[in-house]
Every structure is written in C-alpha cells, then in structure tokens.
A = this chain, B = another copy of it.
Amino acid sequence: MLRSTEDGTRYELLTPTALPKAGGFLWNQKMMVQITCRGYATAQFMQPEPSKYAHAPNLEAKTFIQPEQGYYAHHPGRFVYVKDEETGQVFSAPYEPVQTALDKFVFSVGKSDISWTVEHLGIRVEMSVTLPKHDVVELWSVKVANLTTRQRKIGIYPYFPFGYMSWMNQEAEWREDLSGVVASSITPYQKAADYFKNKLLKDKSYFLCETPPVSWEAMQEAFEGEGGLHAPSAIAQWELSRGDARYETPVAAVQYREELKANEQREYRFLFGPAFDDAEIRAVRSKYLSKEGFARTAREYAEYVAEGRGCLRIETPDKDVDNFVNNWLPRQCYYHGDVNRLTTDPQTRNYLQDNMGMSYIKPDVTRKALLTAISQQEKDGAMPDGILLAEGAELKYINQIPHTDHCIWLPITLEAYLSETNDYGLLQEQVRGKHGDSYTVFERFNRAMDWLLSARDERGLSYIAQGDWCDPLNMVGYKGKGVSGWQTVATGYALKLWAHVCEHEGKPDLAAQYRAGAKIVNDAANTHLWDGSWFARGITDDNVIFGVKTDSEGRIWLNPQTWSILSGAAGPEQIARMLPEVDAQMSTPHGVVMFAPPYSGMREDVGRVTQKYPGSAENGSVYNHASAFYVHSLYSIGEADRAYEALRKMIPGPSKEDYVQRGQLPVYIPNYYRGAHQRFPRTAGRSSQMFNTGTVSWVYRCFIEGLCGLRGDSDALVVQPQLPSSWDGIKVRREFRGATFVVEVRRSAETKEVTVTHEGRVLPGRRVTNIRPGVTYELSVSVPKS
C-alpha cells in the first residue's frame, strides 16, 4: 500500500482509496502546488500576493490554507481521461474524476517531482509533474502505453479545469498560434484604486501542448454535457467540439487519438500556468515545452531542492525516521526558509522560526532574515505582528490583531544561528529602521528585551493582549489586563538566552541585568502561576487563573510546562511533578496534546480556541509546534526517552494503521494531528494536511542538537547524543562550519558517561575545537547503558 524507495527519496502509495487526501507538494521561489494522489491540486503563486491560476468552480474566499481541506468532484485538479475507442470504455488518470477501480496504481512522491503510474484496460498511463526553479509554470509529462499484444485505438483527453476565474470577465479559447487553450480573466474589484493595484496581475491561464491535439474544448459545461464529470458527453463523441468559453467557466480539454501497436508508447508534454500576456506565454513555451526543456528543468529543479538537503544524515534503528530526517524534514525546513510560506507578510514569530531552521541549511538566509526582521522593529522596541517582505505589502488577516510574543523569538532564533555559525559579527551590524532610527543589532535586541520586560503587569506577569503564540487565546486579555503564563516564562527564557550573548559580547553588566530580569519573571511565574503540580496557562482580565486543577476543560497546557523548564522557572522538584502529569493527562497514541481536556464550548474569558472543533486545529489537538518545543525542553534536561517518544510521534508512520489514521504520506509534518482521542477516537490522530508549520525548524533542531547531540558553541562542536534507551547506537554525518563530522555512537556497558574519541584521543569536555573547513572528522562516541 505504501512503500519508500531504498534511499528514502520517494514515497509510493499503491492505492488511491486508502489515503484519499494524501499528496505531495512542490514549490519554487514563486509558487507552490499541493497535489493529492487522486489528482486534485491546489496551486498558488506570488504576484506579489498569493494568486491562483486554476480556481474552484464557485467564487472562492481568499484565505489562508484550510485545515483538513475537503475535495469534491469539481475541485481543481489535473486529469487525463483515457478511452478505449473500440469498446467505448473510459477511465481517468490518476483516479478522479471517473474513480474506476484500477489494475495498478502507483502515486509516487519525490523530492522534486510527483508522478503516477496507472494501468487499466491494458493501457498504462504515466503522469508526472515538476516545476522550474524560478518561473511559475507546471511541467506535465503524460505517457500512454499499450500493454497488450494487439494494436489498440485509444483516445487520450487531458482535462485541466481553470474553474470560475472571475465574475467580471472570463473566457477561454484554443490558440492555434500557441498550440494551447488560453483562458483570460480580469481579477474583480470595485474600488478605482484597486484598478492600479491589479493592472499588472497575471490574469491569463494557459494549457500548452507540445503535440498538437486532434480537437479541444474550452468550456467546462460543453465538455461535461449531460454525462457529468464521471462520463463527459464530449468524450463520447468522435471529436471534441472545438468550443470556446465566453464568460462561461473555462476549461482546457484536448483530444489525442492514437493507434498504438503492441507495447507501443506515446509521450506528451504540457505546460500549465498563469501569464500576463501572450508574449509571456510564448516565452514560457519556447523556454520549456520540449524534451530538452523538460530534462533541463527537471535537473535544475532537482538541484534547487538539493540545496536544501541540510546538515545531517543519520542511520538509526528506525529506517522510517532516517528517511524522514535525511530527506523530507530538511526539505520541509528549506521550503519554509526559502519562500516564507509564500506570503508577503509572514507573522513575525513564523518568519523568525522558519529562518531558525535555515541555520542548518543556508545560514546566510537566517542572517538576512534577522536583519530584515529587526529593521522593522517599532520605535518602542516591540516587534510588529508581521514582517513585510514585498513593496506594497500590508499586514493581513491575523496580523491585524495584536499579539505580544514577537520579541521572544529574536534571541531564540539568534541562539540557533550563533550555535551553527559563531557569527557574532552580526550583532555589530548597524540597522536603519523603518522609522528612520538607527541602531546596531545588539542595541536593537536590548531594546526588544527591554520591551518584553516592560510589557508586564504589577505582578510581573506578561500581558497577553489579543493573543500570544496561541492566536485563538484572544479573549484572555483583550480588555488589557489578562496575562499569559507561557509568555511570562518565555520572556524568562528569552532574557536568559540574551544574557548569555551579552556575556559573550563582553557586557557583564547587561548580562547581569537581563539575568536579574529573568529571575524576576521566573519568580513571578512561581508566585502566581504554580498550581501545585504544573504551571497555569494564564490569568484572565477578570483575574481568573486558568489551566489549573479546578478546570474541567483546558486543565493543563503544554507550553507553560515546556518553557518553565527552558526558562529555569521550574526547579527539579517541580519538573519531577510536571512530567508525570503531562504523561498522564496529555500523552496520547498520536502525540502530546497542546492542552487537555479539549474545550466543548465557548469560555468567553479564554477565547476563540474554546470554540474550535474539539481535537481539531488548536483545541486540544496534537499541535506539533508545541510538541516540538516540549521535545526541545526535554533534551535540555536529559529526558532522552520522553523526548524521543514525543518526537517520533510527530513523524507519520510507520505502521499501516498509523498512515490510515493520519491520512497522509510521511513527506512532511503537518501542523496538527487531531486530539480528543478519548472523546472522538474515530478521528483522533488525523493529519491537518497543512505543511506550513513552525514545527519543522524545531524538530530538525531536536534531531541535530538533541538526539544526535551535535551543537556548536563559540569555538567548538559539543558532542552529547541522547539516544532513546532502546537503541544501541546510531551513525551520523553532520556538516558544521564547513567541516564534516562522521560520528558513530555506540552504547557501551563500560561507559559511565558520554565519551567522544577523535583519532584515538578522548576529547575533553566532549568538544571538538579548532574546526577546519573542508576537513572530515571521524568521531567515535560511547554512551552508557541506561
């Protein structure tokens, strides 16, 4: 049903029905396309705001990606109908819209392409798609082969719906000069000012054919006729009617009619994408639509994706984990860090964390992102809700609602970046801000930390305003008084990290000042938020503490425990009380939930999170971002088994039951798996199918610095693996500051503590110093039996 290639670079699904929403995604620097195994697709590109070139059949709301996105017959997709001309039988590849039971089905997701092999009626259809690195265009190859020993007459009908493009203006027609269907539209608007904004939008969509087809149809309604999508009337005819769409819903459907000898095969190539005008379509055509163009593009795109291969290769007892960590996890991190989720105004916390992950892939990008973010600091030291990346970009959606946590992510991202690069020089960069002010990065970080210290109430607890890291906790403090338990200890952690940097920078006074700040904050948390066995989530505007024993819903939250460990607010005795509570109340077969039990209805003093569907999205789900923080905190205190258990559950698989429950391929970590597993066991564990998530930077970091224990400090690589107790050893290849470390970790009954040996010499402090770029270091690491 599901298999991985030996090298882990492809996942193959062998039936379209078991994981109906399972898919893969491709992206480049201007676009993203998510394609399911059954052929449905969601594609967006930047111009500069996210736009579509294939649409739903009705007027679709413009919004962020939907959790657990549903599909339906007319959902946008890429399909090929195949007709046996002798019998009139019809099926479709890859599966939709006809939904025939196929003789063979392989959905194959690679790192730089997605493909299918489908067999039915003695005919094989192979479809595959890739992207170029820069341009917004899908490159589709379709191969059709006669698998029988007799000559066959076959009709082949690629069907690429454009959907409802615009109520204002839409049409489509066959363009002989371009050999393709070109759909034109005008993005609807009412305000005169929007005309000028929209003027340069790519309002055309095209489907170009390398091989001229026999016939075509450009109108959806005419293509379907009374047969419907499962048996389009147009296909029952000898030829398509060469119709156009004039304000009707446009489609690209073309016909090839072939006589294939025994085992003969035909290959077709198509381009699908948006354009501003005919000249752009012509240029795309001549650049890509050829055998050579496809081959060159596939190579270049594979090279592009390979740039995101990351700094870690592992061999562990768990092959699925190896595949994921060596291939898919850095790819997902790279996607986040290279294109910032294809938005022009990423939330500041997302922007910083996504770029934290880039420290392990392309640290120059992280450096630039830190400079970009800090240049948009407010006059008072606060950070804005989103970072604007394009001219004319605006803060949209959730970024219009005030959250107070954005400064926290500055020292956190910086810590990962400095550990990886030792680039303390960054701190001395002078940064001119958006208000015309000018400070060094170091000064700006001080100002951000001062702002965090200032945004606290008389008890010393941090205000939450209309949300902290958890957006839908929007009513705890909307009246201006409520405080966040998480934000309080997270402030403590940020100050602690920053104090460490101040120390390094030769500013002991500042270091002491921020350490003192951290202590005050941690003390305040202990005074007001410690509930005997765990930390509360916050205190509302009306002075009601929540996330405490007396709550029947939302009783215990993961983040306050995690971050009190990181900040130092939780002492060893407290941790010893907290962790069993997390185990007992929050650990599930599908991961550690964000809080428990889920809310069953609105708590007006808590917020929107209590109205979300129980177990889904944030309401008591296994919210992987929070789980990843938790794992990071567990590694920080040597809780290797607990850490790995939670870490492993974030990766889809490995059992068949698990894939089916989660409903996705193990090519990415989704932002959540459904929780509420006691109340709704049928749906618990199900994937959100959303691959945009701050989770992945942390998971990658946990593997690198936690499990493998290969973390930099200012002059060395520190080696401190934390294997789960059931493992006897792992092999690791780690790139670090230009050098390569080949590390073999073995458990040994003789070892009392971790011992690192290099060229026969035990390294003091388990530190590799004087690292020389270009050199490969082979390290042997002994870890004690647990």
Contact = CB atoms under 8 A, between A and B. Distances in A.
A517 to B, nearest CB: 30
Interface in A74-92: 74-75
Interface in A668-698: 674, 680, 682-683
A334 interface: no
Contact of A230 (B75, B167, B230, B475): B230
Nearest to A683: B246
A56 interface: yes
Given A70-B58, A167-B66, A99 B227 contact: yes
A246 B613 contact: yes
A168 B249 contact: no
Nearest to A66: B167
A73 interface: yes
A189 interface: yes
B60 A60 contact: yes
A398 to B, nearest CB: 6
A475 B17 contact: no
Interface of A is mostly: loop
A57 interface: yes
A76 to B, nearest CB: 10
Contacts of A247: 68, 613, 615-616, 674, 683
A293 interface: no
Interface string A92-104: 0000010100000
A171 interface: yes
Contacts of A221: 20, 70
Interface in A270-296: none
A397 to B, nearest CB: 7
B70 A612 contact: no
Contacts of A75: 57-58
Contact of A189 (B97, B171, B608, B615): B608
A401 interface: yes
Interface residues of A, number: 65
Most buried by B among A167, A171, A612: A167
Given A186-B611, A226-B99, A60 B57 contact: no
A401 B59 contact: no
A200 interface: no
A59 B63 contact: yes
Contacts of A67: 167
Counting every copy of the chain, the complex holds 2
Nearest to A169: B613
A539 interface: no
A192 B474 contact: yes
A618 to B, nearest CB: 10
Contact of A228 (B191, B230, B674): B230
B612 A229 contact: no
Given A58-B58, A67-B167, A228-B73, A195 B613 contact: no
A617 interface: yes
A473 B164 CA distance: 24
B608 A226 contact: no
Interface in A464-505: 466, 471, 474-475, 478
A17 B74 contact: no
Given A168-B611, A228-B73, A466 B192 contact: yes
A164 B70 contact: yes
B168 A617 contact: yes
Contact of A401 (B72, B190, B226, B604): B190
Most buried by B among A66, A68, A612: A612
Nearest to A194: B608
A677 to B, nearest CB: 12
A376 interface: no
Interface in A14-41: 17, 20
Contacts of A397: 190
A62 interface: yes
Nearest to A74: B72
Contacts of A62: 61
A607 interface: yes
A317 B246 CA distance: 37
Interface string A220-259: 1100001111100000000000000011110000000000
A66 B186 CA distance: 15
Interface string A560-580: 000000000000000000000
A17 B226 contact: yes
Nearest to A100: B226
A355 interface: no
A17 B226 CA distance: 7
A227 B58 CA distance: 23
Interface string A598-617: 00000010011001110111
B608 A195 contact: yes
B192 A478 contact: yes
19 contacts: A56-B58, A66-B167, A70-B164, A70-B220, A70-B248, A73-B228, A99-B226, A168-B611, A168-B612, A168-B617, A169-B611, A169-B613, A170-B613, A190-B398, A192-B401, A192-B466, A192-B474, A246-B682, A247-B613
Nearest 6 A/B pairs, CB to CB? A73-B73, A72-B74, A57-B72, A169-B613, A61-B61, A59-B61
